Amino acid sequence: MERFVVSIDKAQLLAIEPELRVLRVPTLAMWGTADPIFELPLAYWLRDTIPGCREVVEIPGGKLLWPSERPDELAAQLRRHWGVERERAAV
C-alpha cells in the first residue's frame, strides 16, 4: 500500500486532460481538504475540466483515503448526487 501511495502523481491526471475535457457523464468531485498528495485546487481544476462535473464537495480534514474512513459521508453525497442527476434526466 505504501508503494502505491508514493507512486500516485497528479501528473497522471494532467496526462489524460484531453479525454477529461470530453467526459460528459454526470461527475461529482469529492475532495479531502487535508490531502497532501492531491491538493484541493486540483478538485476545482477537475470541475472546470470535465464538462459533466458540476460541483466539488469538500470533505473537511479528509486525506487521500477518506472514503474508506468515512463511508457514510461518501454514501450520503453519492445518493444526493444521483438524486439530482435523476431529476435532471426526468426534465
Helix (H, G, I), strand (E, B) or coil at 44: helix
pLDDT tens string 43-57: 999 999 999 999 999
| Residue at grid coordinates 459533466 | 52
pLDDT value of position 36: 87
pTM: 0.83
* CATH architecture of structural domain 2-90: 3-Layer(aba) Sandwich (3.40)
Longest dimension (CA), the chain: 46
Q: Which three cell numbers stand for residue 89?
A: 434526466
> Which residue numbers in the chain have pLDDT < 70?
1-2, 4-6
Residues 6+ away with beta carbon under 8 Å from 71: none
